[in-house]
Amino acid sequence: MTASTPLLEIAGLVVRYGAITALRSIDLAVGEGEVVSIVGPNGAGKTSLLSAVAGLVKPAQGTMTFAGRRLDLVALEDVVAHGIALVPEGRHIFASLSVMENLKLGATVRRDAGAVAADMDRFFGMFPILSERRRQPAGQLSGGEQQQLAIARALLSRPRLLMLDEPSLGLAPMIVDQIYALLRTIRAQGTTILLVEQNAERVFGVSDRVFVISGGTFGLSGSAAEIKNDPRFDAAYFGVGMHAAAGGR
Amino acid sequence: MERLVQILVDAVSVGSLYALTALGIGLIFGVMRLINFAHGELITIAAYTLLALFGLPLPVMLFGAAAVAILLALVTERVAFRPLRNADPTTLLISSFAVSFFLQKLLILVVGSRLKGLDFLPVLGRQIELAGIRLQLLQIVTILVSIVLLAALTWFLRATRLGLHMRAAAEDFRMARVLGVRANRVIAVAFALSGILAAAVSCLVVVQTGVVQPRMGLQLVIIAFVGTVIGGLGSLSGAAFGGFLVGAASILLQALLPPDLRAFREAFVFIAVALILLLRPQGLIPAAGLKERV
């Protein structure tokens, strides 16, 4: 973690859906330029964490600060203007709109039309398939292409923090390799990334730090290398409890 | 031959009216998942505005009717629907019935329930001759107005930033908001557009019938609603097409059914509707992203 003030700071975050508590007092700090990954099984609270930061769910307790500003007081549609972009689970591209229109929507909060057009050209260079299909309905793209589109759309807001929710979900291993190569490129350009994955093996190569979440709390955290080699990883991932016997992976 | 063309033009003209009405309902359903039965009262209030402004220059009457319909649309959104935005569609539907009844009864209280004659634009009642076939000018004007409004709405949705935001919101409102699309603005614009469409329909219906009465809008909206359902709820082209189809079919049946069956033309229309829904439950032109609103 960087020594200066973190870009994103979460303290005592609690998220509830009715009687169900999805997150129990989460603390997390993400420094500028860092890649932080949250790994954990289904229902561990990964999506709830990103949803809270994105403004999709209102926390029951806790504070979230982004670049020195209180995030939990910001309305959903203003979050992106603060510099946070989300690539949601399932991609949520606009299937009936063209690839180009999807990208334009990514730049909704920007007023610098010239720079937006330049960014779009740059992305079309990075994603040739999107360039070829820019006039086609986005629903006609393959899963991997839709994921590329969702990432390019998020980047068009020029975020300081890019959040990705299970970018490998439902994609062939080869396509996942491409998506992760892309994340490394984005990381090299200095964008801070908060990544959520069920597939822990995937994130080690791209992350600075990894948090293991289970049952709405972090069980284990550390540098990617530490977590990868930590014998307690399985127990933390499967939520068996740190002191209990570790389950099989 | 002349008779057939006349029937077809009549069918297209009535179909266009219902297409415009269905489009007004479809616009609001698209962004809010609300079936706004109070759309009928927008039509009614625009007609009463024409009555109130009767005698003033035509542009004043037209702009007045549109302005009042837009204002009422915005007020109903703000007062009746915005507080319920996260409620389930049934609650919204009931709220729209409440608004509809409230406005109807309010009108009856203020202006009475009697029909009022309004000789608006009598010049449109004239017959004209096109390629040797005599047609009513109003039918031609209705078709032209509908084409112009459809083209303008299509242009707005396709070529403007706000139009793009509306289409995105109609497909996945939550994701659109994540990207920074303003929910309040998009919904207010949808209501304002539905007000404009209602005012246009109102003017054309008043010219055609020559009367104004408190329930005139509701009757149109019920038929147009059936159109939006068979067209495909949530799809704008579906709404326009479905509305057109229901309106045109009812005129064609009126003209083509044997005289003793004509009284039952609505029954035939609804049998056709039932068949369409059995075969294509999602409508003729289904919406791309009909998802639950969050």
Mean pLDDT of B73-82: 97
| Total number of domains constituting chain A | 1
Which DSSP category does A138 fall into?
Answer: G
Task: Work out whether the CA dihedral B76, B78, B83, B88 comes out positive or negative.
Answer: positive
pLDDT at residue A72, rounded to an integer: 86
In a domain, A3, yes or no: no
CATH at A197: 3.40.50.300
In a domain, A248, yes or no: no
Residue spans of the domains in chain B: they are 2-279
Tens of pLDDT along A107-129?
999 999 999 999 999 999 988 99
In a domain, A95, yes or no: yes
Domain at B2-279, CATH from 3.40.630, 2.60.120, 1.10.10, 1.10.3470: 1.10.3470
Three-state DSSP class for residue A2: coil
- Inter-chain contact B175–A81, Cβ cutoff 8 Å? no
Q: CB contact, 8 Å: B112 with chain A?
A: no
Q: Which chain B residue shows the shortest CA-CA distance from A53? A: B178
Task: Give yes or no for a contact between A53 and A7, defined as CB atoms under 8 angstroms apart.
Answer: no
Tens of pLDDT along A169-207?
999 999 999 999 999 999 999 999 999 999 888 999 999
**pTM score, two decimals?**
0.90
Structure token pair of residue A232: 């307690």
Structure token pair of residue B252: 């064609």
Chain B residues closer than 8 Å to A153 by CB: 179
Distance of CA A172 to the CA centre of its chain: 19
Among residues B32, B40, B26, B38, the alpha carbon closest in space to that of B239 is found at B26
In a domain, A244, yes or no: no
Which DSSP category does A137 fall into?
Answer: B
In a domain, A247, yes or no: no
pLDDT at residue B266, rounded to an integer: 86
Tens of pLDDT along B94-135?
999 999 999 999 999 999 999 999 999 999 999 999 888 899
In a domain, A249, yes or no: no
Model confidence at A244, pLDDT cuts 50, 70, 90, reads very low
Interface of B with A in 163-192 (CB under 8 A): 164-165, 167-168, 171-172, 174-183
- Inter-chain contact A56–B178, Cβ cutoff 8 Å? yes
- Inter-chain contact B178–A54, Cβ cutoff 8 Å? yes
Model confidence at B68, pLDDT cuts 50, 70, 90, reads very high
Å between A83 CA and nearest CA of chain B? 11
The H helix count followed by the E strand count for chain A is 10, 10
B20-24, B139-143, B186-190, B251-255: which has the minimum mean pLDDT?
B251-255
Which of A94, A111, A155, A164 is the best substitution to test chain B (most B C-beta atoms within 10 A)? A94
The residue type at A52? A
Chain B residues closer than 8 Å to A139 by CB: 288
Task: Work out whether the CA dihedral A109, A111, A113, A115 comes out positive or negative.
Answer: negative
In a domain, A1, yes or no: no
State which H helix or E strand residue A161 sits in.
Answer: strand A161-165
**CB-neighbour burial class of residue A49 (10 A; exposed 0-12, middle 13-18, buried 19+):** buried
Structure token pair of residue A120: 């779009």
Mean pLDDT of A15-21: 95
**CB-neighbour burial class of residue B281 (10 A; exposed 0-12, middle 13-18, buried 19+):** exposed
Q: What is the 3-state secondary structure (H, E, C) of chain B?
A: CHHHHHHHHHHHHHHHHHHHHHHHHHHHHHHHCCCCCCHHHHHHHHHHHHHHCCCCCHHHHHHHHHHHHHHHHHHHHHHHHHHHCCCCHHHHHHHHHHHHHHHHHHHHHHHCCCCEECCCCHHHHCEEEECCEEEEHHHHHHHHHHHHHHHHHHHHHHHCHHHHHHHHHHHCHHHHHHCCCCHHHHHHHHHHHHHHHHHHHHHHHHHHHCEECCCHHHHHHHHHHHHHHHHCCCCHHHHHHHHHHHHHHHHHHHHHCCHHHHHHHHHHHHHHHHHHHHHCCCCCCCCCCCCCCC
In a domain, A245, yes or no: no
Tens of pLDDT along A35-92?
999 999 999 999 999 999 999 999 999 999 999 999 988 999 999 999 999 999 999 9
User: Distance between CA B49 and CA B217 in Å, rounded?
Assistant: 14
Å between B153 CA and nearest CA of chain A? 17
Tens of pLDDT along A137-157?
999 999 999 999 999 999 999
Q: Which chain B residue shows the shortest CA-CA distance from A100? A: B164
Å between B223 CA and nearest CA of chain A? 28
Of B167, B174, B180, the CB nearest to A97: B167
Chain B residues closer than 8 Å to A106 by CB: 179
Q: Which chain B residue shows the shortest CA-CA distance from A101? A: B164
Task: Give yes or no for a contact between B263 and B206, defined as CB atoms under 8 angstroms apart.
Answer: no
A160-169, A228-237, B137-146, B161-170: which has the minimum mean pLDDT?
A228-237
B290 pLDDT above the threshold of 80: no
Among residues A35, A3, A32, the alpha carbon closest in space to that of A206 is found at A35
